Homo-oligomer: A and B are copies of this chain.
Amino acid sequence: MRRNPVRTELRIRRVPPNPTRRWLKYAANTITAANLSLGLLSVLLSSMHLFHWAAVALMVAVLFDRLDGSTARRLGIASDFGRELDSLSDLVSFGVAPALLVYTQVYMEHLPLVGGALSMVYVLCGALRLARYNVQRFSGGFLGVPITFAGGVLGLLSFVSRDVHLLGFAAAEILLSALMVSKIPIKKF
């Protein structure tokens, strides 16, 4: 009676929806969604020329990004869906948001065309870095500077922008773009 292995498997599979684990999985994805929302908030604040607040939103997003991945991995609830959502959020929060922040705050007035090109290069390099990371894993770390670090640095520079020259921003953006697509091995910490 009901010894059919397929049936047994179905019954075994029905047990796992452990409510705590499922809740934690949602929690990790909710943190990722918060990261994305902060990134978009930073974009909207930059478009309203509220640069200091845009930089703050970006830096809070860095903290959220540190939380979600490590939480998911430590709890053993990392999922493909979570990883995809994380990459997508990272490109918005640490690619588009800092690029727009630096563009509206620094380049728009004094260097609109070259600044636009630099912003595009930065976002493109960030996307290439994320796409490569998703298909080519390197055990115990990754290749190239992570986009979260690059976005955090630009956010910080924007926050202290009174002391940074326009060319300082341009140099930082070029350097960070190159470091993201580089093959320098970086340890996870």
Contacts and interface: CB of A to CB of B under 8 A. Distances in A.
Contacts of A79: 135
B44 A100 contact: yes
Given A33-B124, A84-B134, A92-B91, A116 B47 contact: no
Most chain B beta-carbon contacts within 10 A, residue among A85, A96, A131? A131
A148 interface: no
A127 B85 contact: yes
Copies of this protein, total: 2
A123 B34 CA distance: 12
B37 A100 contact: no
A189 to B, nearest CB: 24
A120 to B, nearest CB: 5
Given A47-B108, A89-B127, A84 B40 contact: no
A92 B88 CA distance: 9
